[in-house]
Chains A and B, each alone.
Chain A
Amino acid sequence: MRIHIIACRVFTRELCFYASRSPHIVDITWLPQGLHDTPVQLQKMISDSLDQLYIQMEKKMVKHKPDVIVLGYGLCSNGIVGITSRDIPIVVPRTDDCIALFLGSQKRYLELFKDCGGTYWLNNGWIETAFIPSREMLNSRYEEYIELYGEENAEFLAEQDQCWIRNYNACGYISSPAYHCPEYPELARRVADENGWNYREFEGDNRMLRMMVSGLWNDEEFCICPPFHRIEATCDDKKIRAVPCE
């Protein structure tokens, strides 16, 4: 089977690792990390990637048509809602976001979300691709604010950034069974200290990321969107459903 994945760069290490070992032929289109902040933009970039894939197939630049397209996203601020399949089915994990995928299941994520409210999650992928609230990155953002908006406004904007940081109370570092870099949990611990948060480590579980490339998609954890269907949010435990295009 040929699987084409359109995924957030936050999964680079894990998906590359499991793709290389998959019995299937896996190709991946990467999109920038952080698009969940602008869900309209995320939806557009996934749609554009699908357009590009079909253009490449039409022009025979892609020699083999994929059997299935997998989205390497959860709901991600509803950025995947409205994505429409054409003649190739699209598979999407039924999770709120990447944290559930790094923890191994939506169920575990929700349990931790309930028990560890106010936890800011970090892992290898986030540390390597995202803005993280370390003193170093906050300082560099502050310098950028000064340059763009002047010193007086920079202080106000930095204060706005501090608002949400103050609302959190812990940093949860999720380890990865695919890759270990000792500096990363150290960095996560430093971020916790700098922001006055508690620090906790959680063992990561890549089962859903492995399933993405394995072709073993159960209906409970993955939504299989048949050809010519549109992805919708269900606003319940199922998270998403596929509805026929009119």
Chain B
Amino acid sequence: MGILEEISSLMQQGRAPKVKELVQQAIDEGVSPKEILEKGLLGAMSIIGDKFKKNEIFVPEVLIAARAMNAGVSILKPYLVEAGVESKGTAVIGTVKGDLHDIGKNLVKMMLEGKGLNVIDLGVDVPAEDFVKAAQENNADIICCSALLTTTMGEMKNVVAAAAAAGIRDKVKIMVGGAPITQSFCDSIGADCYSPDAASAADAALALCS
């Protein structure tokens, strides 16, 4: 097994310390940081994402894989910067006002960072105006809103409205996600993108930034 395959395999098992070690070893052996990221880490995350979609693995497996990915990325980052690989874009992320459930949001954050996006985490219970303010201050490309409850998902509509009221609606894309969210809900509130899971969210975010 080549070192990139080994990194991929260990990442899928969620073995963060071992992934870190091997990413460093790959760099020392002269493998390009971009190749380690794309073939080793992001390749493994795609496999994890597919398995999750097929119900072959569950949230804990995705969480530990995402953590292992980020452990690898933390080693790669200075080398990527040195090689002139720029941030792919900026996203502000949070759970909407009234919603306190952040496991999904944290997972999406890890996935976005893995894809090379700069992520501003606003935490939980974030009022619509705060999403917009943070997007303005950070010149964000995307606002990512998460809600786990049907009682709070309506807040997403307020985020879309607040972005429009602040005059940034044409500059920022709004992504929505969380257990009760559907594509038709996303369409009905005028948001730009719905993702059913964290891996798809990262792919969609990257596409929105390009």
CB pair B151 A96 closer than 8 Å = yes
Q: Mark A119-145, 1 if CB is under 8 A from B, else 0.
A: 000000000000000000000000001
Residue in contact with A160 in the complex, picked from B61, B106, B185, B188, CB distance below 8 Å: B106
Q: Confirm or deny: B98 has a beta carbon within 8 angstroms of a beta carbon on chain A.
A: yes
CB pair B188 A113 closer than 8 Å = no
Residue in contact with A167 in the complex, picked from B60, B124, B185, CB distance below 8 Å: B124
- Chain A residue contacts of B14, Cβ below 8 A: 149, 153
CB pair A163 B102 closer than 8 Å = yes
Chain B residues 112 to 149 lying within 8 A of chain A, measured CB to CB, are 124-125, 148-149
Q: How far is the CA of A164 from the CA of B102 in the complex (A)?
A: 6
- Chain B residue contacts of A233, Cβ below 8 A: 150, 185
Q: Confirm or deny: A37 has a beta carbon within 8 angstroms of a beta carbon on chain B.
A: yes
CB pair A160 B63 closer than 8 Å = yes
Q: Confirm or deny: B74 has a beta carbon within 8 angstroms of a beta carbon on chain A.
A: no
Chain A residues 144 to 183 lying within 8 A of chain B, measured CB to CB, are 145, 148-150, 152-153, 156-157, 160-161, 163-164, 167-168
Max chain B Cβ within 10 angstroms of own Cβ: one of A37, A117, A235: A235
Q: How far is the CA of A81 from the CA of B182 in the complex (A)?
A: 10
SS class of chain A's interface: helix, strand, loop or mixed? helix
- Chain B residue contacts of A118, Cβ below 8 A: 100
Residue in contact with B182 in the complex, picked from A78, A96, A110, A153, CB distance below 8 Å: A78
Q: How large is the interface on B (under 10, 10 to 19, 20 to 34, 35 or more residues)?
A: 20 to 34
Q: How far is the CA of A81 from the CA of B67 in the complex (A)?
A: 34
CB pair A39 B106 closer than 8 Å = no
Max chain B Cβ within 10 angstroms of own Cβ: one of A118, A156, A161: A156
Q: Confirm or deny: B64 has a beta carbon within 8 angstroms of a beta carbon on chain A.
A: yes
Tell me whether A167 and B180 are in contact in the complex, defined as CB-CB below 8 angstroms, given that A75-B150, A157-B64 are known contacts.
no
CB pair B185 A113 closer than 8 Å = no
CB pair A157 B60 closer than 8 Å = yes
Q: Mark B26-48, 1 if CB is under 8 A from A, else 0.
A: 00000000000000000000000
Nearest Cβ on chain B to A99's Cβ, whole angstroms: 9
Q: Confirm or deny: A22 has a beta carbon within 8 angstroms of a beta carbon on chain B.
A: no
- Chain B residue contacts of A77, Cβ below 8 A: 148-150, 179-180
Tell me whether A149 and B101 are in contact in the complex, defined as CB-CB below 8 angstroms, given that A75-B150, A78-B180 are known contacts.
no
CB pair B103 A164 closer than 8 Å = yes
Q: Confirm or deny: B167 has a beta carbon within 8 angstroms of a beta carbon on chain A.
A: no
Q: How far is the CA of A39 from the CA of B185 in the complex (A)?
A: 15
- Chain A residue contacts of B64, Cβ below 8 A: 149, 153, 156-157
Nearest Cβ on chain B to A46's Cβ, whole angstroms: 15
CB pair B17 A96 closer than 8 Å = no
Max chain B Cβ within 10 angstroms of own Cβ: one of A113, A153, A168: A153
What are 7 residue pairs bridging A and B, where the CB atoms are less than 8 Å apart in the complex? A77-B148, A77-B150, A97-B150, A113-B98, A156-B63, A164-B100, A167-B102
4 smallest CB-CB distances across A and B, nearest first, come from A167-B100, A77-B180, A78-B180, A77-B179
